[in-house]
Amino acid sequence: MRSHLLSIDSLSRAHVDHLMRVAARMEPIAQRRQVTRVLEGAVLGNLFFEASTRTRVSFNAAFCRLGGSVCDTTGFTFSSMAKGESLYDTSRVLSGYCDAIVMRHPDQGSVAEFAEATHVPVINGGDGPGEHPSQALLDFYTIDKEFTRLGKRLAGAHVLLTGDLKYGRTVHSLIKLLSLYDPMRFTLVSPPGLEMPSRVIDRVESLGHRVEQRESLAGDFSDVDVVYTTRIQRERFTEEMNENFGALSRDFSVDRSFIDDHCSDSTIVMHPLPRDSRPGANDLDVDLNGDPRLAIFRQTDNGIPVRMAIFATLLEVDDLVEKDLRPVRWFVPARLGVDDPAF
Ligand code: NCD
């Protein structure tokens, strides 16, 4: 991994394997059994110019769990970008205050432009419809952990990606990351007009993977290992698109009857979240809550060790963590969520 994490394009399989190993070493800290201070004194700048809950808070928490401190700013209104400040100036200014910077911004390519102006490590927390590499790393970590629990192998796995594959940046990064590994099968199902960009599909196919595009979720998916669902990114739609799409049919939503009738007992269901849980929304249904196949909250929990691994690697303390551990002294519940399965 070079000095920034901007796109999966800069990662090799060896980089990903290293990050996965470091993330596994972070588990006792992420699970609040041990404490480290390896980043004591370091400051993270967390700059979010688009809506975020889990990415912002989990980057923040991951840095704190390594012993560092965090300064953050949210939205354009309260930042000097509202006064016309350039990405170049903002980047140089923040570099004087912070030892690492996470940025989310609505324009594709903007985080890379910001990173060009600094030697301080920059992490892309999502650049418009572009990429979201840390989400792909935590998704991959989740798939690996779930497959180990289920006795499955990644090589030859069948992954169904569904929802808004055009504007959903998480799926762009995830399919690129998975395609660094041995040949797999991908089925892509999206409403017409929201298909995965062809440049991404071409690249995945050129690496020896099988990609099939379908227009509906009808049919047999019993050999699917992972169902990865995504939210329709209406905030990226033009007015014309909003009119054309109106109320999307429920044909693209994944719910308990889809999983029970079309998938198997060992299929896992993932989503980068947030999911739209309002009645009639075209998204992953809440009726799967409590089903052990629903991996979405294990996935969000995995954001902590993976983001800790990203910071530790970029700031070159990945080999120091194990030498610096102390036991936790406060109360931590054995299970976090009321519906969490006990594996
Ligand atoms: C996603 C994002 O912002 O790209 N959320 C996340 O970071 N986990 C997905 C989304 O907003 O739909």
Atom in ligand 1 nearest the alpha carbon of residue 300: 8
pLDDT of residue 241: 86
Ligand 1 centroid – CA 329 distance (Å): 34
Ligand 1 centroid – CA 170 distance (Å): 7
Which pTM was predicted?
0.97
Q: Where are the domains of the chain?
A: 8-131+302-327, 133-234+244-297
Pocket test for ligand 1, best of 132, 172, 284, 300 (most atoms within 8 A of CB): 132
Protein residue whose Cα sits closest to atom 1 of ligand 1: 272
pLDDT of residue 154: 97
Do 8-131+302-327 and 133-234+244-297 share a fold?
A: yes
- Residue 97, C-beta contacts closer than 8 angstroms, at least 6 positions apart: 43, 45, 71
Pocket test for ligand 1, best of 135, 232, 276 (most atoms within 8 A of CB): 135
Per the document, the length of the chain is 343
Ligand 1 centroid – CA 274 distance (Å): 6
pLDDT of residue 82: 78
Ligand 1 centroid – CA 272 distance (Å): 6
* Separation between Cα atoms, residue 214 and residue 222, nearest integer Å: 16
Over the chain, what HEC string results? Answer: CCCCECCHHHCCHHHHHHHHHHHHHHHHHHCCCEECCCCCCCEEEEEECCCCCHHHHHHHHHHHHCCCEEEEEECCCCCHHHHCCCHHHHHHHHHCCCCEEEEEECCCCHHHHHHCCCCCCEEEEEECCCCCHHHHHHHHHHHHHHHHHHCCCCCCCEEEEECCCCCCHHHHHHHHHHCCCCCCEEEEECCCCCCCCHHHHHHHHHCCCEEEEECCCCCCCCCCCEEEECCCCHHHCCHHHHHHHCCCCHHHCCCHHHHHHHCCCCCEEECCCCCCCCCCCCCCCHHHCCCCCECHHHHHHHHHHHHHHHHHHHCCCCCCHHHHCEECCCCCCCCCCCCCCCC
Ligand 1 centroid – CA 150 distance (Å): 27
The CATH classification number of 8-131+302-327 equals: 3.40.50.1370
Q: Can you give the pLDDT of all 343 residues of the chain as single tens digits?
A: 559 999 999 999 999 999 999 999 999 999 999 999 999 999 999 999 999 999 999 999 999 999 999 999 888 877 888 788 999 999 999 999 999 999 999 999 999 999 999 999 999 999 999 999 999 999 999 999 999 999 999 999 999 999 999 999 999 999 999 999 999 999 999 999 999 999 999 999 999 999 999 989 999 999 999 999 999 998 899 888 887 776 676 678 899 999 999 999 999 999 999 999 988 788 999 999 999 999 999 999 999 999 999 999 999 999 999 998 999 999 999 999 999 998 8
CATH for 133-234+244-297, options being 3.40.50.1370, 3.40.50.300, 3.30.750.24, 3.30.300.30 = 3.40.50.1370
Ligand 1 centroid – CA 136 distance (Å): 11
Ligand 1 centroid – CA 49 distance (Å): 13
Ligand 1 site residues, Cβ closer than 6 angstroms: 54-55, 126, 132, 135, 169-170, 231, 233, 272-273
Atom in ligand 1 nearest the alpha carbon of residue 164: 12
Rg (C-alpha) for the chain, rounded Å, is 20
Ligand 1 centroid – CA 178 distance (Å): 18
pLDDT of residue 1: 54
Pocket test for ligand 1, best of 54, 237, 273 (most atoms within 8 A of CB): 273
Ligand 1 centroid – CA 275 distance (Å): 9
Atom in ligand 1 nearest the alpha carbon of residue 231: 12
Atom in ligand 1 nearest the alpha carbon of residue 104: 3
